[in-house]
Structure 1
Amino acid sequence: MASFNLNKGERFSLSKAAPGLSLVKIGMGWDPNDQPGGPEFDLDVSAFAIGSDFKIPSDSYFVFYGQVRMGNCIKDAVEKDLDRPITQDGAIIGAIDDPDGRRSDGDDDEDMLIDLNKVNPKVEQIIICCTICKYPNDNKKDRRTLDLNFGQVEDCYIRIVDQNTGAEIMRYDLKDQYTNEDAVEFGRLFRVGNSWEFEAMGRAHTGSLQTLVDMYT
């Protein structure tokens, strides 16, 4: 099956492209334009699983690196004995933090796994986000991180992979020219009846992760 490339605002039916699809990997990658001697550039992937009121049903449905780690409930989906953040329904397993964005060829910087058949019926959409980690939440407590933004990041993408076969289903390359934005809603998975679709969003914000937390919690 050939992978589809989306543009901003386009929607894509996962159920039509891959009938029977259940376990998907959401892979994301980027290349930060680090300056010699500059601050550490750390991007983080998170997800907000929201209901009809555009809010998460409980704290468990805000999936991010700082969430309490509850173990791996999707058998053989990730490396053995490797704990990740996970929703209480066991459907969404969050990413493991990659602090530098220097992936090996063919690898994503960060990924999360979603079992579409297990997602709580109260959840109508899953927003996949990427934010820049800044002071005082950065590893080195470097105030210079406060000036980092997505205008200093290249080759950002999100892709959806059938975890069972390894086949890439679709990909969205972020092409917008950003200035001071430090948080991006890359895309969203959403229900259409009994099916799931994906929308390439590319919606940027300032205020890093806290702005998204304020929106959806």
Structure 2
Amino acid sequence: MAINLQKGGRVNLKKEAPDLSNIHLGLGWDLRKTDGTDFDLDASILMLDQNDKAIGEGGFVFYNNANSECGSVKHLGDNRTGEGEGDDEVLTVELPKIPDFVSKLLVAVTIHDAEARNQNFGMIDNAFVRVANKDTGEDIARYDLTEDYSAETSLIFGELYKKDGAWRFAAKGDGFAGGLVAFLNTYGLSA
């Protein structure tokens, strides 16, 4: 049974799934219900060092760079509409392969071409991130976005971080106006 997290909620992954080594991060959203262009949301992971700075381009994983340089993170494909049930985009993380100098992985979602399409996260229904054990298929935690993000075009849904030798997940919901560029610049990576 997955733990339903609220914004700011945290879960100790080692406590909830002691043998966890491979994580399935499923992100989803619903099809657009009003007139206009479908929402094309893009999931990504940005690996950070202990100073909360990007480790470099090799630590930024998204549909156009599907594997991290260290081989620990993979993006499994781009969904351009949100059509279908369940996860729309999936990222996998192999915890044993994460280098020691990486202390945090930000799980972000950006609306592709949001400014040109006049779209923001306030228009998107039923967006979520779920954390599951990839080996067993068992859900560990889920965070449903419930706030009105009417100015944001990029959001950090959550973060995987290491504390006291154990990996944890925190539900974030931190938004950025300015899309992917603003998100990456905040952590020292230029787009």
**Deviation of 1:34 (Å):** 4.5
1:97 is displaced (CA, Å) by: 0.7
TM-score by length of 1: 0.83
Q: Is residue 122 from structure 1 mapped to residue 120 from structure 2 by the alignment?
A: no
| SS of residue paired to 1:212 | helix
1:87 is aligned to 68
- Looking at structure 2, the residues matched to 209 and 28 of structure 1 have their Cα atoms a distance apart, in angstroms, of 17
In structure 1, what is the equivalent of residue 139 of structure 2? 168
Check if 1:41 corresponds to 2:22.
Answer: no
Q: What residue is the counterpart of 2:4 in the other structure?
A: 5
Q: Is residue 71 of structure 2 the alignment partner of residue 100 of structure 1? A: no
Take 1:162 and 1:170, find their aligned partners in 2: how far apart are those partners?
10
Contact 2:31 2:38 in 1 (8 A): no
Q: What corresponds to 1:110 in structure 2?
A: 89
Matched, 1:191 2:139: no
Give the RMSD, CA atoms, in angstroms.
Answer: 1.4
The answer for the alignment partner of 2:13 in structure 1 is: 14
Percent identity between matched residues is 32
User: Hey, which bits of structure 1, 4+ residues long, moved more than 2 A?
Assistant: 32-36
How far 1:196 moved relative to its partner? 0.4
Deviations 1:156-189 (Å, cap 9, x if unpaired)?
1110111111111111111101212111100000
**What runs of 5+ residues in structure 2 fail to find an aligned partner?**
none
In structure 1, C-alpha distance between the alignment counterparts of 2:156 and 2:71, rounded to whole Å: 23
The structure with the larger Rg is 1
Q: Is the 8 A contact 1:45 1:95 kept in 2?
A: no
Gaps of 5+ in 1: 68-84, 136-142
Instruction: Determine helix, strand or coil for the equivalent of 1:166.
Output: coil
User: In structure 2, what is the Cα distance between the partners aligned to 1:184 and 1:123?
Assistant: 21
Task: Give the structure 2 partner of residue 31 of structure 1.
Answer: 30
Give the superposition deviation at 1:57.
1.7
1:20 positional shift: 1.6
TM-score, structure 2 normalization: 0.93
> In 2, Cα distance between the equivalents of 1:130 and 1:176?
15
Residues paired across the two proteins, number: 188
Counterpart contact for 2:32–2:38, Cα < 8 Å: no
Displacement of 1:195 in angstroms is 0.6
SS at match of 1:154: coil
1:134 aligns to what?
Answer: 113
* Amino acid aligned to 1:110: E
* Shift, 1:94, TM fit: 1.7
Amino acid corresponding to residue 7 of structure 1 in structure 2: Q
1:40 CA displacement: 3.5
CA distance change for structure 1 residues 194 and 116 in 2, over 3 Å: closer, same or farther? same
Amino acid at match of 2:171: A
